[in-house]
Structure formats: C-alpha cells, structure tokens
Amino acid sequence: MLPPTAPLVWRRSKRARRMTLRVDAVQGSVVLTLPERTSRKQGLMFVQQHMDWISASLASLPEKPVLANGHDIMIEGSLVPILHDPTARRGTWLDADGLHVSGDADHTERRVRDFLRVLAKDRLSAAVKRQSERMQLVPSRLDLRDVRTRWGSCTRQGRIMLSWRLLITPVEIRDYVIIHELAHLRHFDHGADFWALVDHFCSNGRSGRLAAERWLRENGVALLRAA
C-alpha cells in the first residue's frame, strides 16, 4: 500500500502503449498512466510490483518547507523568515526583517504563496528587461507559469515563458535561464553560435553557464517543492 501522504493519481492516455509510473515532486503523489484498454486491476498490480521503486522515490523527495510563522522561505537564493502579525492591516509585505503576513494564521500559507507569485512577476519581468537591454534582444511577450518540466522556453514567435519559481533561485541561476531563452530569439537551436552567445552574456562565461546548469540539475526537485 502507498503511504497515506502519497495519493495515487490515475490517468488514461490514448497514446500510451504501456503502463508508466512517476512521482509528482510538487504534490508528493504517484501518477499511474494507463493505456486505454488496460484495466484498473492491472494498474493496481503494476503499482504493487513497483512498490520498492515508489517507496525509494518518495523517500528521496526533499522536505517541503513549512510556510508559517517562524519558518523560512527562499527568495533569490536567500532564506527569508516568515513573520506572522495577526494585528497588522497591510496584507503581506517584504522588508529587511523578513516576509510579514497579517491576518488569521490559518491563511498564512496561502498568502505567502500568493505574494511570491506577485513578487515573481515584478522581479522576473525586471530581470528580463535588464538582460534584454544588454543583449539587444526583445521578446514579443513574457509569461510566468507554474511548470514542472522546464524552467523556461521560447517560441518562434518570440514569446518567452519562465517558471515563476526562478524567483527562489540565486540571481545568477535566474539570469542564466533568462539569457538562455533570450538567446533563442537569435538562434532557435542549441548549436555552437547559440552557446557562444549565451556564454558571452552569462556571468563567468562558459564556466558560469555550466555551474548554473549543474545547480538546476541538483536542486530542481527541491525547487519544485519550495512553495
């Protein structure tokens, strides 16, 4: 049986040719995908056969931070204390002391999440503007999303998408992803000219770019669970 904190999510796919399992890092759930004609009984047997893998995968997930008074949240690579003030009337705000949250303590987690998304829009938009001016490459549109498979993307129409969770990363990691996607406005591939452009603008050049890629590989799951 699955741990009580790990729900099993059933999905059917017309394109699936076999049963597959994956762990959703954000929700801490197990996702079972079934081909159209596969029965739920077969699906449950498949899950039972792979319980060792499921248990190990769930155990390897980083702990989710507690978004409550006295705990910390990461913003731009720095730990910021969450400070609940039930008597304040300012909503949620950030200053040198920490992230202040007013109102009922039961709403602190939601208010922190909402504030982070608003802050991400402000700071990521400003970061894109700065790098865009440096590179003289201007996207047609910027969207922030809660994605789980890529930190950024760029379309042929010049539309750039970034994960709002880049707000949590150190600024050099955030800037690398932005530079990477802006570079696609000139080179819509991953050829030598593309990487030369990225390395030219990335902090510490190629070594900085490789360090940023390594950081994302090593911390990606924790980043997905951070808020």
pLDDT tens digits along 96-152: 999 999 999 999 999 999 999 999 999 999 999 999 999 999 999 999 999 888 899
**Extended beta strands in the chain, E state:** 8-13, 20-24, 29-35, 72-75, 78-85, 92-95, 98-102, 141-145, 152-154, 159-163
- Neighbouring CB atoms inside 10 A of 111's CB total 19
Calculate the alpha carbon distances from 48 to 3, 7, 44, 54, 210 in Å: 12, 14, 6, 9, 40
List, for residues 49-107, the tens digit of each pLDDT value. 999 999 998 988 888 889 999 999 999 999 999 999 998 888 999 999 999 999 999 99
- State pTM to two decimals: 0.85
Structure letter (DSSP) for residue 54: H
Average pLDDT score over residue span 219-226 = 90
